[in-house]
Each structure stands twice: as structure tokens, then as C-alpha cells.
């Protein structure tokens, strides 16, 4: 019975109801997008391995380390494996076609990163071809690249046009694994630097080491940094999670602003739904007085008004959530290089649902109080 009354009451003013549903849907859509962007920003932290450590220059990431450090790092007892990588910073044809691209130590890199799933055939093809590259599935879909395609990258840090051949397309082991990266042989980069810029040759951006057990990470970090203390290029060794958190902390102000905007959206949503319910209840005040005269108690009237408010919010929330997925697809198409894990997290969807229910309940509180506090005689004499 109540369900039919909610629908009929909402249908009395279809335009107002439709506008309210759209407003709620847009608010939940915006709430979901912001929550997903925050989650994407933390994707690298979530995917970090407890067994991996990153060794970088103590001053800044903009300074490189000598490749000779590799063998000295191997002498640390807790180190099980080591690889290295260098940020290349190239783009495909136009600067807007930006994506993460790295020069890596081909023989060891994928051993330390098992989350990048690559077939053995493709891996061997990559190792045999000095100009070969491995790309993520998301990157391949973005540009339509296939195995065997030639990919020219315009260098920024390392000037010139660098042409690579796609020898492998990896997929992520987990949902949060970044599938929009580009890897090629560091040896190729180093050979070119020896010819053109000898002072920049035989250097790498970071070393990545893997320890036998996660509990050994703190001691390993101290031991590695001790090896290069007072050297021309001192190191800073930290867990992969801490390394990724360093990038996130640079955007702390932006993330805080996003969270504040999310709260503002909920407040605006409350104002919109409250206004709709107040107008609706004011127009039906005489009807509620008649119901009270017929013996319907406060509980029934509260359920009638509150249920209508909750139904409006729930329907709008469903619309907003349904629109979230195509909106994220468009966002990924335009900005996927910056947000590798664009998928609505369950926590954001849950918070959006709770926000709808909370707004629905609060928006009905004032109208319910007005109906119950207004004397029946006064309500019967009220017109509009």
C-alpha cells in the first residue's frame, strides 16, 4: 500500500520529480567519480609488494645512480634479486599521447614483477630483440597496437625519435595492476648514450631489490644505504609502498580538496531533496490532516513521507551509479595515462548508497515534524 502511495505522490508533479531524480543522480555520479579518482591515485600504493625495496638517489629522483652500484647491492645478505629501471619520458606522435615508459633491465625485470603477466614466448621474443618493447594491454587497446607493430617515441629527456617493435603485451594479475605502461631495453638506451652523451651513460634511475622475507626489509634498507654513505651519489632505500606514498603525498592538498568537494556534494544533495519534500508536503497538508482525522497515526504518516523521500533518493542513486560506469570509461579514454586503475571501488559505492539513505532520512525529518506539529483544524483550513 505504501509503495503505491509513494509512486502516486511522486507522479503528481512529474517534472519536479524528474528534476529531483536528475539532481540526485548527478550528485551521486560526481561523488562516485571523485571517490574513484582518489582510489586511482592510491593504486600504486595498494599494488606495492612488501618484499620489494626501491633504491634511489638520496637527493632526488632527478639524479641517477651508477650502474656499478648493482653488484655492490647484491652483496647485501637479505637481497634475493635486483633489477633496475629508468624513466624515459617519451610520447607517441603528440605530447597528448603521454604514458609511462621505462628503460628496464630486460633479463630480470619481469622476474621481480610477477604481477605483469607475459607469455614465455613473448618474453623470449622481447629478450632476443634489442629494439623490442613490452606494453600493457590497456596501452595496446588505446592505440590499437599489436605484436610486431613499430612504435616511434619522441624522447624528451633523451632527445630524438626512438623506434621500438612490440614483442609482448602483458596483462595485470590483479585488478589494480597498471596495464598502461611501456618497457624497453635499458641496454639500447645506454648504447645510444655512450655514442651521443657519454657522461649520462652507465647510469640508472632506480634499483629495485627483492628480499627473501618482508621482515628483512628494514635491515636491508639500512645495509644498502650504508654501502654508499659518503660516496658522490648516496642512496635512499625504502619500501616500494613508501616510495609510492611519496608521489601521493605530493598531491595531498589536491586529495584533501577532492574529499571536501565530496562532502559539499552531499550537503547540496540534502538541500535539493529537502526542498522537494518540503514543497510536496506543504501542498498535501490537508490530505495528511484528513488521514489523521481518519485515525492514521504518526508512524504511518512518518512512513508515508519518509518512504517517499527515501524512494526519490534511492532511484536517483541508482541512476547516478548506472551512469558512473560509462562516465569512467570516457574518463579512462581521455586521462587513463594518469589514472591507471579506473574502476569504482566498493567502498565508494557503499558510501554513495549510505549518503542517499542518510539524505533521504534527513530530508524527510522537517516535513514530518511539520505535519505532526500542525493542528488538524489549522491543516484542514490551509490551502496550498
Question: Is the domain of 178 the same as that of 258?
Answer: no
The burial of 234, by beta-carbon neighbours within 10 Å (0-12 exposed, 13-18 middle, 19 or more buried), is given as middle
At 57 the pLDDT is 94
Among candidate residues 308, 309, 317, the one with its CA nearest the CA of residue 352: 317
Instruction: Determine, yes or no, domain membership for 318.
Output: yes
pLDDT at 43: 62
Last residue of a domain, one of 203, 233, 263: 233
| 151 and 213, same domain (yes or no) | yes
CB 32 within 8 A of CB 40: no
CA of 49: how far to CAs of 219, 221, 327, in Å? Answer: 17, 15, 31
Predicted confidence (pLDDT) per residue in 17-26, tens digit: 888 888 888 8
Give residue 187's pLDDT: 95
DSSP string computed for 310-353: HHHHHHHHHHHHHHHHHHHHHHHHHHTTT-S--S--HHHHHHHH
Residue 48's pLDDT is 64
Would you say 37 and 258 are in contact if contact means Cβ atoms under 8 Å apart?
yes
- Phi, psi (degrees; rounded to nearest 5) at 254: -65, -45
Question: Could you tell me the CA-to-CA distances from 297 to 255, 289, 294, 300, 373 in Å, in that order?
Answer: 48, 11, 9, 6, 13
Question: What's residue 90's pLDDT?
Answer: 93
- Domain membership of residue 95 (yes or no) is yes
pLDDT digits (tens, 9 = 90+) for 78-95: 999 999 999 999 999 888
Position 252 scores a pLDDT of 59
| pLDDT of the residue at 162 | 94
Q: Which domain holds residue 200?
A: 59-233
Q: Mark whether 158 and 282 lie in a shared domain.
A: no
Q: DSSP code of 229?
A: T
Query: Which among 204, 233, 262 is the end of a domain?
Result: 233
- Same structural domain for residues 110 and 29? no
pLDDT at 287: 80
Q: What is the pLDDT of residue 295?
A: 82
Residue ranges in the chain whose pLDDT is less than 50:
none
Q: 200 with 89, same domain?
A: yes
Within this chain, do residues 96 and 180 fall inside the same structural domain, yes or no? yes
Both 92 and 22 in one domain: the answer is no
- How many domains is the chain built from? 2
Residue 255 in domain:
yes
| Whether 69 and 207 share a structural domain | yes
Examine residue 241 and state whether it is found in any structural domain, yes or no. Answer: no
Helix H or strand E encompassing 285: helix 285-293
In this prediction the pTM is 0.70
d(CA 322, CA 301): 32
Residue 219 shares a structural domain with residue 302: no
| Structure confidence at residue 332 (pLDDT) | 67
Residues 119 and 262 in one domain: no
For residues 211 and 67, membership in a common domain is answered with yes
pLDDT score recorded for residue 166 = 97
Amino acid at each position: 500500500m505504501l509503495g503505491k502511495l509513494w509512486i502516486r505522490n511522486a507522479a503528481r508533479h512529474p517534472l519536479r520529480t524528474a528534476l529531483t531524480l536528475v539532481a540526485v543522480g548527478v550528485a551521486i555520479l560526481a561523488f562516485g567519480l571523485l571517490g574513484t579518482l582518489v582510489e586511482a591515485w592510491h593504486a600504486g600504493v595498494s599494488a606495492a609488494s612488501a618484499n620489494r625495496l626501491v633504491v634511489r638517489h638520496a637527493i632526488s629522483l632527478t639524479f641517477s645512480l651508477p650502474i656499478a652500484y648493482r653488484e655492490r647491492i647484491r652483496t647485501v645478505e637479505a637481497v634475493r634479486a635486483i633489477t633496475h629501471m629508468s624513466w624515459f619520458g617519451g610520447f607517441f606522435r603528440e605530447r597528448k599521447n603521454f604514458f609511462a615508459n621505462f628503460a628496464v633491465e630486460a633479463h630480470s625485470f619481469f622476474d621481480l614483477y610477477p604481477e605483469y603477466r607475459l607469455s614465455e614466448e613473448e618474453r623470449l621474443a622481447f629478450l632476443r630483440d634489442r629494439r623490442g618493447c613490452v606494453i600493457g594491454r590497456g596501452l595496446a587497446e588505446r592505440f590499437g597496437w599489436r605484436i610486431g607493430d613499430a612504435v616511434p617515441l619522441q624522447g624528451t629527456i633523451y632527445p630524438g625519435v626512438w623506434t621500438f617493435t612490440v614483442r609482448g603485451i602483458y596483462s595485470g594479475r590483479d585488478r589494480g595492476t597498471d596495464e598502461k605502461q611501456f618497457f624497453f631495453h635499458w641496454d639500447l638506451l645506454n648504447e645510444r648514450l655512450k655514442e651521443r652523451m657519454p657522461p649520462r651513460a652507465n647510469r640508472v634511475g632506480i634499483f629495485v631489490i627483492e628480499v627473501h622475507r618482508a621482515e628483512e626489509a628494514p635491515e636491508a634498507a639500512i645495509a644498502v644505504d650504508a654501502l654508499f654513505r659518503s660516496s658522490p651519489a648516496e642512496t635512499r632505500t625504502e619500501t616500494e609502498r613508501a616510495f609510492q606514498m611519496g608521489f601521493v603525498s605530493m598531491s595531498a592538498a589536491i586529495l584533501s580538496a577532492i574529499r571536501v568537494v565530496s562532502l559539499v556534494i552531499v550537503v547540496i544533495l540534502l538541500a535539493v531533496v529537502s526542498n522537494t519534500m518540503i514543497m510536496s508536503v506543504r501542498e498535501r497538508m490537508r490530505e495528511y490532516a484528513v488521514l489523521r482525522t481518519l485515525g492514521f497515526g504518526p508512524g504511518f504518516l512518518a512512513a508515508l513521507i519518509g518512504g517517499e523521500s527515501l524512494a526519490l533518493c534511492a532511484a536517483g542513486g541508482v541512476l547516478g551509479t548506472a551512469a558512473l560506469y560509462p562516465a569512467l570509461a570516457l574518463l579512462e579514454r581521455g586521462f587513463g595515462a594518469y589514472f591507471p586503475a579506473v574502476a569504482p571501488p566498493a567502498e565508494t559505492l557503499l558510501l554513495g548508497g549510505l549518503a542517499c539513505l542518510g539524505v533521504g532520512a534527513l530530508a524527510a525529518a522537517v516535513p514530518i515534524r511539520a505535519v505532526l506539529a500542525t493542528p488538524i483544524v489549522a491543516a484542514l483550513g490551509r490551502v496550498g
